[in-house]
Amino acid sequence: MLKLERGQKLVVATHNAGKLREFKTLLEPFGLELVSAGELDLPEPEETGLTYEENAKIKALAATTASGLWALSDDSGLSVDGLDGDPGIYSARWAGPDKNFDDAMVKVHTSLMEKGAMAPGQRTAAFVAVLCLANPAGETVCFEGRAEGTLVWPPRGNQGFGYDPMFQPKGHMRTFGEMSEAEKHSWSKDKIGLSHRSRAFSEFVKDCCPDD
Ligand SMILES: O=c1nc[nH]c2c1ncn2[C@H]1C[C@H](O)[C@@H](COP(=O)(O)OP(=O)(O)OP(=O)(O)O)O1
Ligand SMILES: [Mg+2]
């Protein structure tokens, strides 16, 4: 089992500013020294895997190899039931090159409309995140988290990132885009969080983080 020590320097192996922000908040209580792949100017590896886990490993191993530090990566996406799980592992690039998430959300919505999926029950989806911790010896360990919800239209809220404004988590009336980061995570050591990332993070904490 891979275990981090208090004060240890850890690369957050992402080039996504939204994820980086979330990881900084989540990791804060554990007394680690954080540096991001962007700050170290690490190359962005090609995500050639066919699963979240494969891509998370690719990113964590690339970062630990390039930096000599332990690395924590995240591969995540939105799996829409009515679209057979798309955009899934391709969520970041599904709308095409030079497209932003406003375009990507329109594409998800229009694809569902083309299938006649108008009622909330036909617009269910899940966010999935797989975190991977890698050490410089090339050992890895992965943790998965899921958040179930419904896709609303039009998108609501301007917090979070990516597809957050159209994702309303199960049991809630507001989208992730309408929630503060703290609400989106709803993370604490003794209760299950709300977001896919915080749910995967709980498992990672249990096994790999120093006790605080
Ligand atoms: O909490 C989330 N709220 C909204 N959207 C989200 C979330 N989590 C993942 N997503 C979507 C957008 C993201 O771009 C894609 C992940 O793609 P993914 O390849 O894992 O990340 P990325 O390319 O943006 O950054 P990087 O690979 O450097 O970590 O799924
Ligand atoms: Mg990526």
Q: Strand, coil or helix: what is 19?
A: helix
In this structure, the strands spanning 124-134 and 140-151 are antiparallel
Q: What is the pLDDT of residue 189?
A: 79
Q: What is the pLDDT of residue 36?
A: 96
Q: What is the mean pLDDT of residues 49-59?
A: 98
Q: State the distance from the centre of ligand 1 to the C-alpha of 15, rounded, in angstroms.
A: 10
Out of 26, 55, 91, give the residue to mutate to test ligand 1, the one with the largest number of ligand atoms within 8 Å of its CB. Answer: 91
Q: What is the mean pLDDT of residues 188-210?
A: 93
Q: Domain of residue 130: give its range.
A: 9-208
Pick the atom of ligand 1 nearest to 37's CA. 28
Q: Which residues line ligand 1 (CB under 6 A)?
A: 14-16, 19, 47, 59, 74-78, 91-92, 127, 160-164, 176, 195, 197
Reply yes or no on whether the pLDDT at 212 is more than 70: no
User: What's the CA dihedral at 88, 149, 202, 52 to 10 degrees?
Assistant: -10
Q: State the distance from the centre of ligand 2 to the C-alpha of 78, rounded, in angstroms.
A: 13
- Assigned domain for 87 exists: yes
Atom 6, ligand 1: which residue's CA is nearest? 162
- Assigned domain for 3 exists: no
- Assigned domain for 19 exists: yes
- 200: DSSP letter: H
Q: State the distance from the centre of ligand 1 to the C-alpha of 199, rounded, in angstroms.
A: 15
Pick the atom of ligand 1 nearest to 164's CA. 4
Structure tokens given for 177: 């885009």
- Assigned domain for 2 exists: no
197 has binding-site annotation = yes
Q: Is 75 a catalytic residue?
A: yes
Edge-to-edge strand list for the sheet holding 9-12: 33-36, 9-12, 70-80, 124-134, 140-151, 167-169
**Cα–Cα distance for residue pair 122/136, rounded to 1 Å:** 45
- Assigned domain for 54 exists: yes
Structure tokens given for 157: 């809220």
Q: What is the CATH number of the domain that holds 124?
A: 3.90.950.10
Q: State the distance from the centre of ligand 1 to the C-alpha of 91, rounded, in angstroms.
A: 7
Q: What is the pLDDT of residue 191?
A: 82
What phi and psi values does residue 108 have, to the nearest 5 degrees?
-60, -45
Q: Where are the beta strands (DSSP E) in the chain?
A: 9-12, 33-36, 70-80, 124-134, 140-151, 167-169
| ipTM exceeding 0.95, yes/no | yes
The dihedral built from the CA positions of residue 46, 92, 143 and 206, taken in this order, carries a sign that is: positive
- Assigned domain for 82 exists: yes
Alpha carbon of residue 146 to chain centroid:
10
Rg, Å, the chain Cα set: 17
- Assigned domain for 4 exists: no
Q: Are 112 and 123 in contact (CB under 8 A)?
A: yes
15 has binding-site annotation = yes
Question: How many domains does the structure of the chain reveal?
Answer: 1
- Assigned domain for 89 exists: yes
pTM value is 0.97
Of 63-77, 132-146, 176-190, give the lowest mean pLDDT range: 176-190
76 has binding-site annotation = yes
Pick the atom of ligand 1 nearest to 197's CA. 1
Q: Choose, from 74, 75, 98, 212, the residue flagged as catalytic.
A: 75
